Amino acid sequence: MDFHFTPEEQAFREEIRAFLDAHLPDPVPEDDPGFLREWNRKLREKRWVGFSWPREWGGGGGDLIRQFILKEEMAARRAPALGLDFMGLTWVGPAIIAHGTDAQKAEHLEKILDDEEHWCTGYSEPDVGSDLAALQCRAVLEGDEYVINGQKIWTTSAHVASHIFLLVRTDPTVAKWKGITCLLVPMDSPGIEVRPIENLSGKASFNQVFFNDVRTPVGNRLGAEGEGWRVVMGALANERSGISESTEMQRHLDDIRELARRASRNGRPALEDDGVRRRLSDMEIRIEAMRLTGLRHLTDQLRGKPSGSETAINKLQRGILEFEMSELELELLGSAAQHQGLLQRQTLAWHGTVIGGGSPNIQRNIIAERILGMPRK
């Protein structure tokens, strides 16, 4: 691809930088709900939340290259996210735009942008492991309602979500990926029970979700019955493409490098240790490879090619790197106890990023089967 930006694109980058200079405090009060609401309001005024969404549904109507510039600049400056509902903005909203009725778009899209709805995704189940197509949570059509029974697990943010993007089995007689349907279900529906699961840092982001005769209207079905697999594969590809991920990873690596300056090994700064320097250099190279791979995906998208299995490459690399970076961070924290606390809790909370959207082994399978054409065992 051409790595040069047009004068108009560069002007947009300068506009973002000027906005951040004027409105982003240092340090960023990330745990202040009032600041985050006000920050989201300012971004909405600029139509930068949902930047590439259609303007008729509240988005910015922007192109992909400017969206990339926007995300890159925000990540580089450690700004809060573009919008407060990550799942709603990353894959639920785009799935509704692609497959939803006008009524569903009118009901949900602007509420996602305005932080009036918060979404979780009901994919994983206790007895099907990594085989998403083998899910067993059932939905039976009774009149103009689906009746849902079953269980989901590792459901991120279900304890605070207003809605769930839910995959259910509606036809057990056909091939397993053909009998799946996607439903948009309010979390306050009678019969839904949420049980939080604590992670290693003592916080609960994952949950078990139980459905006991939960009723939801047919109008809450996203796409046709039996097309849930197609809907969710597009949603997952959108989540995995993450063209600004490498900037976030570089930011994390900068934090580790600064920690290595403060920590000590054998009476010297850890950053002077050859082993630590090699590990940091290796991570730097792999993050740069992620950046270039992300730009390749961006180029494909700019040429009209939808995100496909290739997005699993960066998802896999990020999963491996997150684990290795957290491991090094914990080693360094052991000799820099005064800097523990928040850093340590963040280091112990890597599971959501690594496992969410498909574990590293899932990404390896996708790469092997769909890109390299290797046979399944």
- Whole-angstrom Cα Rg for the chain: 22
254 & 366 share domain: yes
pLDDT band at 346 (very low <50, low <70, confident <90, very high): low
Min mean pLDDT across 9-18, 178-187, 217-226, 234-243 is at 234-243
207 & 304 share domain: no
CB 135 within 8 A of CB 143: no
Q: What CATH number has the domain bearing residue 286?
A: 1.20.140.10
Q: Residue 235 domain-assigned?
A: no
Instruction: Taking residues 236-253, report their average pLDDT.
Output: 69
Q: What is the pLDDT of residue 54?
A: 95
282 & 357 share domain: yes
Count how many domains the chain has.
3
143 & 221 share domain: yes
The pTM of this model reads 0.80
Q: What percent of the chain is helix, strand and coil (3-state, nearest 5)?
A: 50, 15, 35
265 & 160 share domain: no
The answer, yes or no, to whether residue 363 has pLDDT greater than 50, is yes
252 & 357 share domain: yes
Does 239 qualify as catalytic in the annotation? Answer: yes
- Calculate the average pLDDT of the chain: 85
Q: Residue 162 domain-assigned?
A: yes
The answer, yes or no, to whether residue 42 has pLDDT greater than 90, is yes
Given the residues 73, 239, 248, 329, the one annotated as active site:
239
Q: What is the pLDDT of residue 337?
A: 47
The answer, yes or no, to whether residue 338 has pLDDT greater than 50, is no
pLDDT band at 345 (very low <50, low <70, confident <90, very high): low
Q: Residue 125 domain-assigned?
A: yes
Q: Residue 237 domain-assigned?
A: no
* Alpha-helix residue ranges (DSSP H) falling in the chain: 7-23, 33-45, 64-76, 86-87, 93-99, 102-113, 228-241, 245-262, 274-302, 312-333, 342-347, 351-355, 360-366
Say whether 248 sits in a helix, a strand or coil: helix
144 & 61 share domain: no
175 & 269 share domain: no
Q: Residue 236 domain-assigned?
A: no
Query: Cα torsion for 285, 286, 290, 293, to the nearest 10°?
Result: 80
196: nearest Cα among 248, 155, 228: 155
Domain hosting residue 72, numbered range: 7-84
The answer, yes or no, to whether residue 239 has pLDDT greater than 70, is no
Q: Residue 94 domain-assigned?
A: no
180 & 249 share domain: no
